[in-house]
Chains A and B, each alone.
Chain A
């Protein structure tokens, strides 16, 4: 039982926190994990991604082969499309719909959303608005993780615990807000 996930976004949006939370939860459940991430130059406002693989068996490659990812989880809509070559035929896109516009030639957001909808399995939500609603505007990444949690083969409580312990160093109020964002994100998706 293996889940291959591509996490996508723009440097600074918090995809590494999503990866770290899933990683912690996977370890707690004695699963194998490989998680390749981008450090260095491209972290400065550039596109960033993380390849995350979880399995009950040993995993060979740190990178997901093209056409093999089960889900793309994106905190930015255009970034969800950048990794389409990695998505499997039955793969799912789960993305935030708020664009992060730091380039002059960012396409029309409607065309981006329409392109995402061409993929038969897609979940698009306004993670920024949801995060703002609960008073934690910086937690849109955790909203996205909550939405994606349905499709990750790890008990939800484990992910909850992982998010809590990940943010505990920043204070228990911050931790609880992120756990809340996770839960609200999860409830946004009906399956």
Chain B
């Protein structure tokens, strides 16, 4: 047993490795990226040949993880919360097939939207799929849960979700590790046709899933991750989920909380404990990160239950992550209002690095679009989303991964011609390629710029699936070779590149301009490593 300093993400990775992991599948996304990165750099993972290569997107990652589970081995699939949307088809149906080797899903939510476009709560998805959830309150629990989750998954025959939020993912603390377990041997599912979801079979499998719900409930009631800590003062009972427990206890320092506390870290909600705290206390405060999932369940549809307090009642802000101060206010503690930030402090939004190729692309686009006016540039998720900020203000949309191409197509369908799409290389192979096929099939008059920096930049420079393959992919999808243009976005090429862009925007069909120049961050790292 060792004591090491780990991020929440890294604790999950180490727990999974020690828990007998055979393969990790993931697509980068803040705050989940460091799970795969840790496994990629881990010595044991290399020695025991754990699969640890980035997938093209979350759906392909999830399906590969199901495949590894089918073959009897333990697999881990990781992504940020919105990644689960991409993987949702595989996710929902993996609950119906059940598993063979343990299958653990890590979905990292981002309340307060530090690096995301929404605050969706993965616990809602898990309830939708009817699978168990583990929600660690600290790094040690993150480790312990990942370590135990494969066995849990194999015992109940279902995938198990570990839900974390940004603060735990990206906070470091001491973690004590356990002795490593062996990987599973290759073995096929015991039940023939378990993984064939034809309606006749799926109906039986669904019945099985429903039957398992009671077992899941019993396991939650017995789980050591859920704790009922009694208190003398029954005027209030406090239910915390995940990291909410820490913020509560922070307010008591070395003293115990005098109210009864129910710490939830495993779902479905343990009915025994919830009934006990509800019956014994006059009021209930629910402190959970993300959506008011537990609060809404307790309040019921009519919301006439004033005994329940939390995000819906306004005791805790409806949006954003929890903090110790928010808990202090909800507990009506007498705390000093913090001083204000001095007025002179200017906001410092993130920006594209100096020398970044996206800067040259943004300038080229702004110049080309000046004759058509604003509102015609569709983009999506990546470093290049920062083109939306001053001084560029170069893009008009950013909805989700891959939407640049398909939104430009839809707008062109409506008559907005020319429409331009800007997409990164990693996002293109993540979910731009299929949209490109739609555009090719309809000969849509759109111009697509793939701003190719050979990496997944925003998350820190992970491998990009399509590096050195983009022109061939576009050709294969059916873009006319004459309208696949490769440019190098450097200042000295500005006039030449601009002419190419203007030229292609006049073409009545699909053009792809691949603007290729290495990310300056990965470039700097490569040069340093060579020295």
The yes or no answer to A85 lying at the interface (CB within 8 A) is yes
- Provide the residues of chain B in CB contact with A24, threshold 8 Å: 5
Interface: A41 (CB within 8 A): yes
Contacts of B30 in A (CB 8 A): 39-41
Which of A32, A39, A78, A81 makes the CB contact (< 8 A) with B34? A39
Contact A63 B5 (CB under 8 A): no
On whether the beta carbons of A102 and B341 are closer than 8 Å, the reply is: no
Contact of A41 among B5, B115, B346, B353 (CB under 8 A): B115
Given contacts A41-B458, A44-B353, contact A67 B31 (CB under 8 A): no
Of the listed stretches B122-130, B165-173, B506-514, chain A binds: B165-173
Q: Is the CB of A84 within 8 A of B341?
A: yes
Nearest Cβ in chain A — how far from B401, in angstroms? 15
A and B contact pairs by CB, cutoff 8 A, 14 listed? A37-B170, A39-B170, A40-B30, A40-B114, A44-B352, A45-B352, A46-B348, A46-B350, A61-B247, A63-B167, A66-B323, A79-B348, A85-B338, A85-B341
Taken residue by residue from 40 to 61, chain A's Cβ proximity to chain B (1 for < 8 Å, 0 otherwise) reads as: 1111111100010000010111
Are A115 and B350 in contact, CB atoms less than 8 angstroms apart?
A: no
| Given A23-B5, A41-B458, A85-B339, CB of A35 within 8 Å of CB of B173 | yes
Select one of B114, B174, B250, B254 contacting A65, CB under 8 A: B250
**A63/B170 contact (C-beta < 8 A), A41-B458, A47-B348 known:** no
User: Would you call B342 an interface residue if the criterion is a C-beta within 8 Å of the partner chain's C-beta atoms?
Assistant: yes
A-B pairs with beta carbons under 8 A, tally: 147
> Which of chain B's residues have a CB closer than 8 A to the CB of A78?
344-346
A36/B5 in contact, CB under 8 A: no
- Least CB distance from B374 to A in Å reads 21
Contact of A61 among B114, B246, B345 (CB under 8 A): B246
Most B C-beta atoms less than 10 A away, residue of A82, A86, A87? A82
A39→B172 contact, CB < 8 A: no
Q: Give 8 closest A-B pairs by Cβ, nearest first.
A: A40-B30, A40-B115, A85-B338, A46-B350, A61-B250, A66-B338, A36-B171, A62-B171
- Check B172 against A107 for contact (C-beta < 8 Å): no
**A107–B348 CA distance with the chains assembled, in angstroms:** 12
Interface membership of chain A positions 84-117, coded 1 if the CB is closer than 8 angstroms to chain B and 0 otherwise: 1111000000000000001101110001100100
Q: A27 to B34, Cβ gap below 8 A?
A: no
Known: A37-B171, A44-B352, A86-B338. A66 touches B325 (CB 8 A): yes
Q: Could you mark each residue 235-247 of chain B with 1 if its beta carbon is under 8 Å from any beta carbon of chain A, else 0?
A: 0000000010011
User: Counting CB contacts under 8 A, is A5 at the interface?
Assistant: no
- Taking a contact as CB atoms under 8 Å apart, the answer to whether A60 and B115 are in contact is no
B254 A57 Cβ-Cβ under 8 A: yes
Q: How far is the CA of A179 from the CA of B29 in the complex (A)?
A: 35
Whole-angstrom distance between the alpha carbons of A175 and B420 in the complex? 49
**A83 CB to nearest B CB, Å:** 8
Residues of B with C-beta under 8 A to A86: 338
Interface of A with B (CB < 8 Å)? 10-11, 19, 23-24, 27, 32-47, 51, 57, 59-67, 78-79, 81-82, 84-87, 102-103, 105-107, 111-112, 115
CB within 8 Å for A32 and B174 given contacts A24-B5, A103-B348, A106-B346: yes
Contact residues in A for B33 (Cβ distance below 8 Å): 39
A93 → B minimal CB distance (Å): 12
- Interface pair A33/B170, CB less than 8 Å apart: no
* Docked pose: A106 CA to B5 CA in angstroms: 37
Q: Give Cα A178–Cα B115 distance, bound, in whole angstroms.
A: 32
* Chain B residue contacts of A37, Cβ below 8 A: 170-172
Give the Cβ gap from A118 to chain B, nearest Cβ, in Å.
8
**For the complex, is B383 an interface residue (Cβ under 8 Å from A)?**
yes
Distance between Cα atoms of A27 and B174 in the complex (Å)? 8
A44 with B171: CB separation less than 8 A: no
Known: A41-B30, A44-B458. 6 other contacts (CB 8 A): A35-B173, A39-B170, A60-B249, A62-B171, A107-B344, A112-B344
A33 touches B344 (CB 8 A): no
Minimum CB–CB distance from A114 to chain B (whole Å) comes to 9
Does A40 contact B458, Cβ atoms closer than 8 Å? yes
Contact of B341 among A40, A51, A57, A82 (CB under 8 A): A82
Residue interface mask B1-31, A partner, CB < 8 A = 1: 0011100000000000000000000000011
Inter-chain contact B383/A44, CB cutoff 8 Å:
yes
Is B283 interfacial (CB-CB < 8 Å)?
A: no
Q: Are B339 and A84 in contact (CB under 8 A)?
A: yes
B495 at the interface (CB under 8 A from A): no
Instruction: Check A42 against B350 for contact (C-beta < 8 Å).
Output: yes
CB distance from A28 to the nearest CB of B (A): 10
| Closest residue of B by beta carbon distance from A65 | B324
B383: nearest residue on chain A (CB-CB)? A44
Roughly how many angstroms separate A60 CA and B460 CA in the complex, as a whole number? 29
Whether A38 pairs with B350 at a CB distance below 8 angstroms is: no
Q: Provided the pairs A37-B172, A61-B247, A103-B346 are in contact, do residues A27 and B3 lie with their beta carbons within 8 angstroms?
A: yes
Contact A62 B348 (CB under 8 A): no
Chain B, residues 350-363, CB within 8 Å of chain A (1/0): the string is: 11110000000000
Query: Which residue of the partner chain, among A35, A84, A87, contacts B172 with CB atoms under 8 Å?
Result: A35
Q: Given A60-B249, A61-B250, decide whether A44 and B351 contact each other with a Cβ distance below 8 A.
A: yes
Contacts of B298 in A (CB 8 A): none
Considering residues A27, A41, A111, which has the most beta carbons from chain B within 10 angstroms of its beta carbon? A41
> Is B490 interfacial (CB-CB < 8 Å)?
no
Is B349 an interface residue, CB under 8 A from the partner?
yes
Contacting A45 at CB < 8 Å: which of B335, B339, B342, B351? B351
A175 to chain B, nearest CB (A): 15
Structural contact, A60 and B174, CB atoms closer than 8 A: no
Q: Report the minimum CB–CB distance from B37 to chain A (whole Å).
A: 11
Assembled-state Cα–Cα distance A51/B246 (Å): 15
For window 340-399 of B, CB contacts with A under 8 Å fall at 340-342, 344-353, 383, 386
A63 to B4, CA, bound (A): 20
CB proximity of A90 to chain B, nearest CB, Å: 13
Known: A62-B171, A78-B345. A41 touches B114 (CB 8 A): yes
- Docked complex: B444-474 residues within 8 A CB-CB of A: 458-460
Contact partners of A38 in chain B: CB under 8 A: 114, 170
A115 touches B342 (CB 8 A): yes
The CA of A19 and the CA of B170, in the complex, are separated in Å by 13
Instruction: Tell whether, in the assembled complex, residue B346 and residue A65 are in contact, meaning their CB atoms are under 8 Å apart.
Output: no
Contact check, B115 vs A63: say whether CB atoms are below 8 A apart.
no
B171, A41: Cβ atoms under 8 Å?
Answer: no
**Given known A39-B34, A42-B115, A63-B324, contact A105–B346 (CB-CB < 8 A):** yes
**B336 close to chain A: CB less than 8 A:** yes
Give B102-133 interface residues, CB cut-off 8 Å to A.
Answer: 114-115
Q: Are A65 and B323 in contact (CB under 8 A)?
A: yes
